[in-house]
Amino acid sequence: MTTLPIVAEIGAQTRRKIAWHILPFVFLLYIIAYLDRANVAFAKLSMSADLGFSEAVFGFGAGIFFLGYFLLEIPGALIVERWSARRWMARILVSWGVFTILVGLVRSHTHFYVARFLLGAAEAGFFPGIIVYLTHWFPAQDRARAMGGFIMAAPLSLTLGAPLSGLILNLRWWGLPGWRWVFILEGIPAVVFGLITLGYLTDHPRQARWLETEEKNWIEARLLAEKKEIRKARPLTFGQTLRQRKVLLLCLAHFFANIGGYGFIVWLPTIVNKVGKLSAATANAASALPFALAVLSVWLAGYSSDRSGERRLHACIAFLAAGLFFFLATRPGLPFSQAMFWLSLTGAAVYAWCPPFWVLPTLIAEGPAAAGAIGMINSIGNLGGFVGPSVVGYLLTTNHSYSVAVGVLSVCYCIAAALTFSIPYGQTRTD
């Protein structure tokens, strides 16, 4: 009669221990990763003026990151599943830190393209690898909150990175302009934490010295039972999983969402600068507000999704809100205060879809098949990160208005919502 309460207590204690040990660390790693990926937006105004980059050149250079990123996504996720998350993440961190520093040394648009491509290739596998890694530790009922706790690092990194980059832009050490120091100084933490990762992360619960034996047994049994349920309900091979209609829909939804998302992220400081007629450093600081609101929206989305067990509708509502708010933010003649209001709501919606969305592929398959699906969704989806900045850069260079460019990005969010909503309802819940 006392067995069930004891087991429940062990389970609750184990879940708390895992959350407190893993989430703060991967959260910190993603802050570093996202800042090194997106700091090009904060350096844009000064960098383009110094090197003579047009909007099209900058947009292509910002987006080419995702072509390099595309190449190693599926292999990276499989390496985490089959080999070692700890070692793979350490390799990724050190290499992308080095290439971030390299971006700060470019002298021409060719150098810029090559350095951003190499940075993308170096970072490839990090995000899907962490998503796979979290499935090694968190049961399905906790997964959206766990992913929300991880994904909150993205907007927080931009919230902190915007004013930090603004301060660094004022540096003039050893004759180098401040935009170069943005990349050099923000690349160093990745190298340092790459070395720390080797000693801190644990690949699987059975290897965790910080868990008691009964806690290891509880989480291993819980995760194994869930894998058996997925295998029983959907016994798919690796190849079958990647060809599943649901997986392909998620790939396309992620692709269109990232067209909108990275178009927003890369051009936000420029839009703020244009609307408010601010300096580069002040525009960067003001750009922190939308990302600060996104930290709260990501947590709320993950909490609500886990509480209800519903995933699909949570993601769709966030997609539609992002498209609507972004369109409203760039109407011609809008006062600066109103523009910032709508941009802040856009920032909140741009990230809120992530926690429920990334639970969906973990409900389709398990093991290497799930890792491959996550890798493919992120790989194809992040090509949108190449298309978004490139399209905006082209439209602005060909004398189209910001409203036209943002209208294209808003339509992409609506397409992402429609694709996600077309996934069968019964396969998008965690009961």
Question: Tens place of pLDDT for every residue, the chain, 431 residues?
Answer: 446 667 778 888 888 888 898 888 988 888 888 777 777 777 777 888 888 888 778 877 777 777 777 776 666 666 766 777 788 888 888 988 888 888 888 888 888 888 888 888 887 778 777 877 888 888 877 877 787 777 777 777 777 776 777 778 777 888 788 888 888 888 898 899 989 988 898 888 888 888 888 888 888 888 888 777 766 655 555 566 666 788 889 989 999 998 888 888 777 777 777 776 777 667 767 777 888 888 888 888 888 888 888 888 999 999 999 999 988 887 877 888 888 888 889 988 988 988 889 888 877 766 667 667 777 887 788 788 778 777 777 787 777 777 788 888 889 999 999 999 988 755 555 54
Whole-number pLDDT of residue 107: 84
Nearest to 157 by CA among 351, 21, 395: 351
Whole-number pLDDT of residue 415: 95
- Specify the CATH architecture of the domain 3-427: Up-down Bundle (1.20)
Where are the chain's structural domains?
3-427
Distance CA 257, CA 262 (A): 9
- Predicted TM-score (pTM) above 0.95: no
CB neighbours of 423 closer than 8 A, spacing ≥ 6? 246, 249, 250, 312, 360
In the block, residue with structure tokens 């600068």? 273
Assess contact for 162 and 285: CB atoms under 8 A: yes
